[in-house]
Structure 1
Amino acid sequence: MTLASKLTRRPIPFEPEAAGAVKDRFASLPGDLQELVISTAAGSPYLRGLMLNEADWLEGAFEAPEAAVEAEISGLSAVPLAQLGSAQRRAKRRVALMAALADLGGAWPLMQVTGALSDLADAAVDTALRALVAAEVKRGKLPEHAGPTAGIVVLAMGKMGAGELNYSSDIDLISLFDESQYDADEFGEVRAACVRVTRRMAALIGEKTGEGYVFRTDLRLRPDPSVTPVCVAMEAAERYYESIGRTWERAAHIKARPCGGDLEAGAAYLDRLRPFVWRRHLDFAAIEDAHAMRQAIRDHKGLYGATLEGFDMKLGRGGIREIEFFTQTRQIIAGGRDESLRVRPTMLGLDRLAAKNWVTQETADLLKDHYIAHRTVEHRLQMVNDAQTHALPKTPEGFDRIARLSGQGDTEAFRREISERLEAVAGLAEGFFAPRPAGEQAQPAPEHDLDEHPIVERWTTYPALRSDRAVAIFERLKPDLLSRLAAAPRPEEALGAFDGFLRGLPAGVQLFSLFQANPELLGLIVDIAATAPTLAKYLSRNASVLDGVIAGDFFADWPGPEALQEALNKQVATAPDYEAKLDAARRWTKEWHFRVGVHLLRGIVGGVEAGRQYADLADVVLGALLPVATQEVSRRHGPPPGKGAAILGMGALGAGRMSATSDLDLIVIYDACGETESAGARPLATRAYYARLTQTLITALSAPMSQGRLYEVDMRLRPSGRQGPVAVSLESFETYQRGDAWLWEHRALTRARCVTGPAELTQAIGAVRESVLSRPRKPAELAQDAADMRARLGAAGTAGKGVLQAKLGPGMLQDIELFAQSCALAAGRPISVTAQQLAAGAQSGWITAQEAEDLTETHGLLARLQACTRLLGGESEAETGPGRALILRETGAADMSALLAQMSQLAAQADRIISHALTQQGAKAP
């Protein structure tokens, strides 16, 4: 399309008399296009000169502006070194001219304008570098095998990296060379040649000649520029960033992009640098660093001016840099966890942040609108005389010129719009960056004053407060924190629990910064401390789980096992090695485990639903780690013989009702299909192979690593218990269950289910289970065995258990579940849910329907109680600690005395029902 067909606006002539020569030269242009060039010439001496110098080219370029710009850029690759400087300057004049006219005429949006200038910069860097490398090779200063780039890559930083160059931008570059492409004895000579190439490249592009310049270049963003050469070995750069890289350097690398030379080596380098730029955890300490950088820039440049005259649109309060800092800091905070936030352009970054709820869509749209407006004003300032400026004019005449070039005939309205936009941006930025004054977030004055409490006075001795920076941030938090603690139902207990949390923190800056940026998170911590001290202590050792709270969907509905499996599989798959996969699984699981606990604590879910969610998590972890363990064993010993292995979940896992502290009862079953050994480089006999796989899985689940452990594993329910092999073949499992298993093992089998494994194998295991559980049983034998089991459990007693323990004793959880399993066996039905088993007991005549309902009600109450006590850290903690409110809410009791009385009454009733049923069934003739 022609430029004329896309015009939507034009400047207002500022000096009409100055445009006479342009008017004469372009008299043959169509009306709208002619008015654009004349009004532009009447406002910009620089563009007026370009139009006259490049008139012949411009007339043809108007017919297809995008193609004309692309031809200028791509044509540089064929120019020899002797003519390259001149060709690049000609291309710069033409691309800048067309971009300016397309911008002023509204034909190109901002990103197309800045993109054209950035594409030109890329081509200038790449063509200069390749031509200079070829010259060094020809002179014998680089070895023949150096190739066309000599392993040099130039990284575009800042606006160039993001494709956002303005008209008079300098270009920020980092030049590196890949020393691994050379032998050690070549290093010195190669480095010297790479430095020469980089210096000459910068000169070729940046020197101002009679034909102008291409781009001013700045190489000072490289590591430690005061002592390093202009071209740095990649390994040295990596060591620098890994050891002493600073937050501003991380922020700079958000926009880093290979733009010239060995692009593949550059991409690999940035990939290796990813852990430096993108931290694994949410990095709220970056807010403090960014605020300090903003303040330093303002103080150094004197950017607190109260008027618009001379105001810096880039660095001033509410200016372009504020929007970039706002966006990049949030990207730094969350980009380590969310790869979708790792984008270079500012406006795209705002869109991604809004999509992930780090900012509202309204805020993102406002900032994008202000960014476009600010950048447009910046461009108009630079168009006048091709000056590297961001400062608004200091004279009324200067403001009139910029207003007219912007198409605004009312200069005061133009000034008002700029001021309003600057204030709007400043308000958004200050709300994010500026540290809150002490006490600003404080709650209404509480009844209790904790400020001089002895516990508070010793906080300064804790590891988390050993640095001045941590103390400074914490002091800003302290009034709000103490106010919240004092407002808790039991302030002393809440303070003591928070003290346990603070005392256990190994460091504080990162977490305190997170609290400062998210006051609602501090409220959650106080809530946890006031309700569940054990959970607060867990947090002090695993503070990274708080990342999940502010990731946007922490309080959303449970996503379900399929979505969870997909998420964990992705985390594991992207980890680079075996141990990293295990650590990734631990981090992910801890966040979700914590979420379930908080949801139960806050009443978002009840105890029964929390139990199902804990079981979902265990299912997902096993589903992710069995393939990881299999891959690890296969690496050494070949793929699994036969159909592979499956995991049969037993106990609470099998029943789909776990607690915060449940371990995993597992049986590993395999089907070798007659194969006697694996087919790897170091083959193992089939039984040994699956034993190795099982041990690898147990280690993956239970070994303490940098991220802790996942679960304790119990495999005593496998055939023959501790004496049996850790993995059992399908054939052996079936033989044992049909002929050798004890009756109590069949009871346990009622709660079993296949959690993960090959579909064909899990179906076969399920068929064995159904067949075993469906066979006829003698009621008297079942009843007698259950009675004997009750007697043995009763003899073991409940000594040392708190009065709130819900599991042991007549009529308690274990007793009801044992009886329910007997009911399921008597009915010959392979069902695992306790309520369904009791209903089956009623259908087969063991108990009445009312008794089944009574037992189910008692079981539900005790299950909810157990879910709470396990979350709170045990029965004794629940009895005396601040978690009583949670227990009363979950059980519906008025107070603890009423709950204990209700438990006693219901347990006695359940005991009577079970005892009577077993006596009745035991008396039946065999």
Structure 2
Amino acid sequence: MNQAAFSARLTRIPRAFDPEAGADAAAGFPGLAPEIRALIAATAGCSPYLKGLMQREADWLCAALSAPPEGALASLLAEPREAGLDTLGTALRQAKRRAALLTALCDLGGVWSLEEVTGALTGLADLAVDLCVKWLVAEEIRRGKLPGATPSDAETAAGMVVLAMGKMGAGELNYSSDIDLICLFDQDRYGEDWQDARAAFIRVTRKMTALISDVTGDGYVFRTDLRLRPDASVTPVCLSMAAAYSYYEAEGRTWERAAYIKARPCGGDLAAGEKFLKSLTPFVWRRHLDYAAIQDAHDMRLRIRDHRGLNGPLAVENHNIKLGQGGIREIEFFTQTRQLIAGGRDPDLRDATTVGGLSALAAKGWIPAGTAAELTTLYRAHRELEHRLQMVGDAQTQTLPATPGGVARIAAFMGEDEATFREGLLARLTRTDQLTEGFFAPSDTGAEETELSDHAAGIVEGWKSYPCLRSDRARAIFRRLRPQLLARLSRAASPDEALVAFDGFLAGLPAGVQLFALFEANPSLVDLIVDIAGTAPELALYLSRNARVLDAVIGGSFFEPWPGVRGLTADLAQHLAGQSDYERSLDEARRWMKEWHFRVGVHHLRGLIDSFEAGKQYADLAEAVVAALWPVVLADFSAKHGAPPGRGAVLLAMGSLGAGRLNARSDLDLILIYDANGVEQSEGRRPLPTRSYYARLTQAMVTALSAQTAGGRLYEVDVRLRPSGRQGPVATSLASWRDYQETEAWTWEHLALTRARVVAGDPTLGAEVETTRRAVIAVKGQGEKVRADVAEMRARLFEAKPARGEWETKNGPGRLMDIELIAEMLALIAASPARQVERQLAGAKDLLPAADQEALARAWRFLWSLHCAARLLSDQPLQPEALGEGGRAFLLRQTGESDETALLDRLRSVVALAADVTARHSA
């Protein structure tokens, strides 16, 4: 902060509306610099109230303006701290007079910024509240009215806290503002005596408000308003935190959520206040994108305008700069509503200040940077005018004068001639309205609906009965959406198919307000839904039951580069670290995974990635879930049964996860391997023998991944690839696993080992598992037995899992499983550590002619493209005619074929060629 003398920092001076009054005031300060006397004259010539303060505080003001104003502010705030309870009211009122005078002159002279002016006023309010509460609580303790409390408890107000709300909470108090407070106390601190404590805190609250707001011969400190507390008409002026929390959890409304954006402990037990505010985080900051808040804010704006009679034509006289059209509240609502929409997902958006909130929203892409900058400039101008209106007579008003003469006074106070002031004000109000109104009040476009066939009209008529359209509010929003929805559906590849799929999506929605508001605020989402409905009806059906995953599309990072396993793991770990208990961690993991899983599917569906990149991303996501969830499961299990005995355990991914390539519906093959290191049981509240410990830990991990809850499940998990399969223990010691692989395992188990990969657990143990894997592969791939066993396995596989028609991509000769089996065989024989099919084939140059290697690789790539795309569209065997036109078009795009006939011809050719190669090399 600039500490130069007051006079050196003057940048502007008002125009004296009453020059005689101004000259009279300036005459009382002959010793001040001419430029300061000019400021005094101009100020007194506009404000009778400030002129009176100058005359009353003349001696103090001379000293204050002869030095940097920051020092004067610090001194006047220090003085009330030395007062006793009997003199506190007088000391605070003197501090208020002086602070009002100093901040006004710093504001009018351009010495302080808007934030410095409002910050100085807020600092005085904080001081007043804190001193009053602590002195009055000390008095209650002295009188024995607070059960169990001692004099030392007065420093924390014995568990009472005052929350600053509104502008005070944000450090934005206006010049003649009242202060909005909520008074609470910690009921748990008093046990069965909490009602006696409540009575004492109610007395403290009433005395505090009187001490601060009563008008005496010395004036007043701040007008105080306690009506923002829960259910103010029926609750006491101070209530327990538990009662307040219960109210917000059960009945809290959108306007109360918005109010808590700015909430801040300002007096009493600040730590208890912070703890209470933290407990309200789920109420204020909802995890999903809350676009329904826009309609709530719009309705609130209209109610305020109707109540105050502010719906007339825009004019300067009698215009309310706070609540009227284009006013301060419009900018505040615009900012807070956007914060409520997205702040639950992004804590960076939770700035309590209006200017800070606009800046954060722009930085995260929620509003254009130009809009944020323009609204910030308009907000500052509106607030300066608000201050001038209040400085005239210390009135809590935001309404411009009703007469031309009164307007002329305000124009002079703003340093402008009347005509310039009027023109500028109307331009600012109009621009504010232009920037904010469209956001709050989406217009009913009145667009004509697309002409529908009888079949389509019947489907649309049925929408009236759907659960998502039960409420008046949902129907009102959907009525505005319907024309553009039907227009977009009519442009789909197959309009009737797209409409039927969208109908399934709509029918599955349990509620509509949030999602329809989301669509209305983000029209591009309508295109996405229509695209999904016209291409992948099953994905549309999934969306109807998990609509919150759409939050991710507009959450700021949906189209950013893929973060990879490390980035995903770190992100999920951060989300899980913020959860209060184990079950919430699992729910958060499910929510997080579904959003990322949906992203991969949408990117694949829209051609942003191909099937190979989609397969990698699905695998990255699964690995990140396992890696981030493992320590959470382990910590919860350890809390009950003690830390893992010995060196701990690792999770070994097998099959497709081990190879790093999954499709949209893949399950996970996992094995748990542990090293007890001679330790026979765990040490904890409920110790377990080592073998039981790791077996139950495995079950806990499998349950965490696969349990079906209201939030769905993460993955199906298969542990049958462990030693001895279903007959073997679900967890295997490192020694047993090594011995089994070396002495008992069959060839198919060694083949599976070629794709195994450690994905979670102790790194040192994981390195040993990998060393063992490579050693076993090097030994067990030798001899003719491998090829003979593979030939036998192929025959059994073809019998047990035959191809299901010509469109089969996975099972049968020459298809994915057959090619992967041959690749594993070649990797085993070549002692190659490679896990992916392409690398296993490429690493077998001495075993496979180049032409055969290229033929298998090309076949596998084609089959994977088709298979991965088909699994995104349906969990049923591939039948193009059942997919619809949009789905068939997606398959053609993925494979590069021109039509369905060409695609089937290519599939037949590829399979036949691959089958010939696999048969020759497994014989």
Aligned position for 1:825: 828
CA RMSD, Structure 1 to Structure 2 (Å): 1.7
Aligned position for 1:759: 763
1:231 to 238, 241, 245: 238
1:836 to 836, 839, 843: 839
Distance in 1, Cα, partners of 2:801 & 2:740: 31
Distance in 2, Cα, partners of 1:378 & 1:27: 31
Deviation at 1:532, TM superposition (A): 0.2
Aligned position for 1:93: 97
Q: Is 1:311 equivalent to 2:314 in the alignment?
A: no
Deviation at 1:583, TM superposition (A): 0.6
Where does the alignment leave 5 or more consecutive residues of structure 1 unmatched? 920-926
Deviation at 1:385, TM superposition (A): 1.2
Aligned position for 1:922: none
Q: Is the 8 A contact 1:447 1:487 kept in 2?
A: no
**Deviation per residue, 1:704-733 (Å, 9 max, x gap):** 123111000001111111111111111111
Aligned position for 1:190: 197
Distance in 1, Cα, partners of 2:316 & 2:738: 85
Q: Is the 8 A contact 2:806 2:908 kept in 1?
A: no
Deviation at 1:46, TM superposition (A): 1.4
Correspondence list, 1:308-347, <5 A: 308-347=316-355
Letter in 1 for 2:237: V
Letter in 2 for 1:71: S
Deviation at 1:852, TM superposition (A): 0.9
TM-score, with normalisation over the residues of structure 2? 0.96
Q: Is the 8 A contact 1:11 1:405 kept in 2?
A: yes
User: Counterpart of 2:32 in 1: which secondary structure?
Assistant: coil
Aligned position for 2:810: 807
1:116 to 94, 97, 120: 120
User: Counterpart of 1:378 in 2: which secondary structure?
Assistant: helix
Distance in 1, Cα, partners of 2:424 & 2:723: 79
2:381 to 368, 373, 393: 373
Correspondence list, 1:174-189, <5 A: 174-184=182-192, 186-189=193-196
Deviation at 1:21, TM superposition (A): 3.1
Q: Is 1:167 equivalent to 2:169 in the alignment?
A: no
- Identical columns (%): 55
2:882 to 865, 876, 880: 880
Distance in 2, Cα, partners of 1:661 & 1:452: 32
Deviation at 1:779, TM superposition (A): 5.4
Deviation at 1:29, TM superposition (A): 1.5
Q: Is 1:60 equivalent to 2:63 in the alignment?
A: yes
Distance in 2, Cα, partners of 1:687 & 1:452: 62
Which 10-residue stretch deviates more, 754-763 or 391-400? 391-400
Distance in 2, Cα, partners of 1:788 & 1:430: 73
Distance in 1, Cα, partners of 2:543 & 2:896: 28
Which 10-residue stretch deviates more, 199-208 or 143-152? 143-152
Distance in 1, Cα, partners of 2:277 & 2:114: 27
Q: Is the 8 A contact 2:315 2:426 kept in 1?
A: no
Q: Is the 8 A contact 1:446 1:487 kept in 2?
A: no
Aligned position for 1:671: 675
Letter in 2 for 1:896: E
User: Counterpart of 2:548 in 1: which secondary structure?
Assistant: helix
Distance in 2, Cα, partners of 1:133 & 1:682: 47
Q: Is 1:581 equivalent to 2:582 in the alignment?
A: no
Change (3 A) 1:349 1:517: same
Distance in 2, Cα, partners of 1:582 & 1:809: 38
Correspondence list, 1:518-917, <5 A: 518-775=522-779, 777-778=781-782, 780-798=784-802, 801=804, 803-841=806-844, 843-844=845-846, 846-873=847-874, 874-876=876-878, 878-882=880-884, 883-917=887-921
Q: Is the 8 A contact 1:448 1:491 kept in 2?
A: no
**Deviation per residue, 1:755-812 (Å, 9 max, x gap):** 122211111111111111123744532222221111112222536x354331011111
Q: Is 1:204 equivalent to 2:235 in the alignment?
A: no
Distance in 1, Cα, partners of 2:541 & 2:838: 35
Q: Is the 8 A contact 1:281 1:544 kept in 2?
A: yes
**Deviation per residue, 1:52-81 (Å, 9 max, x gap):** 211111122221311221222233222112
Deviation at 1:417, TM superposition (A): 1.7
Distance in 2, Cα, partners of 1:460 & 1:542: 21
Q: Is the 8 A contact 1:175 1:230 kept in 2?
A: yes
**Deviation per residue, 1:63-119 (Å, 9 max, x gap):** 131122122223322211221111111100111111111111111111110011011
Deviation at 1:438, TM superposition (A): 4.6
Q: Is 1:362 equivalent to 2:370 in the alignment?
A: yes
Letter in 1 for 2:754: T
User: Counterpart of 2:843 in 1: which secondary structure?
Assistant: helix
Q: Is 1:240 equivalent to 2:247 in the alignment?
A: yes
Letter in 1 for 2:262: K
User: Counterpart of 1:363 in 2: which secondary structure?
Assistant: helix
Distance in 1, Cα, partners of 2:308 & 2:892: 61
Correspondence list, 1:304-453, <5 A: 304=311, 305-408=313-416, 410-439=417-446, 453=457
Aligned position for 1:262: 269
Moved over 6 A (4+): none
User: Counterpart of 1:259 in 2: which secondary structure?
Assistant: strand
**Deviation per residue, 1:287-319 (Å, 9 max, x gap):** 111110011111111213321111100001111
Deviation at 1:203, TM superposition (A): 1.4
Deviation at 1:144, TM superposition (A): 5.3
Change (3 A) 1:212 1:407: same
Letter in 2 for 1:109: S
Letter in 1 for 2:825: S
Change (3 A) 1:776 1:286: closer
Change (3 A) 1:676 1:611: same
**Deviation per residue, 1:206-243 (Å, 9 max, x gap):** 11122211111111111111111211222222221111
Aligned position for 2:288: 281
Deviation at 1:861, TM superposition (A): 0.7
Q: Is the 8 A contact 1:439 1:480 kept in 2?
A: no
Change (3 A) 1:878 1:565: farther
Which 10-residue stretch deviates more, 573-582 or 229-238? 229-238
Q: Is the 8 A contact 2:450 2:483 kept in 1?
A: no
Q: Is the 8 A contact 2:147 2:190 kept in 1?
A: no
Change (3 A) 1:805 1:211: same
**Deviation per residue, 1:1-55 (Å, 9 max, x gap):** 2222222222122222112232222222123323222222222221111112111
Count of residues paired in the alignment: 911
Q: Is the 8 A contact 2:750 2:780 kept in 1?
A: no
Distance in 2, Cα, partners of 1:383 & 1:779: 97
Which 10-residue stretch deviates more, 878-887 or 863-872? 878-887
Change (3 A) 1:765 1:776: closer
Letter in 1 for 2:309: G
Deviation at 1:365, TM superposition (A): 1.1
Distance in 2, Cα, partners of 1:802 & 1:372: 71
Distance in 1, Cα, partners of 2:315 & 2:463: 46
Change (3 A) 1:797 1:234: closer
Distance in 2, Cα, partners of 1:714 & 1:213: 73
Deviation at 1:451, TM superposition (A): 9.4
Aligned position for 2:23: 20
Letter in 2 for 1:369: T
User: Counterpart of 2:316 in 1: which secondary structure?
Assistant: coil
Letter in 1 for 2:325: R
Aligned position for 1:41: 44
Letter in 2 for 1:492: D
Letter in 2 for 1:868: A
Change (3 A) 1:644 1:776: closer
Aligned position for 1:221: 228
Change (3 A) 1:451 1:352: farther
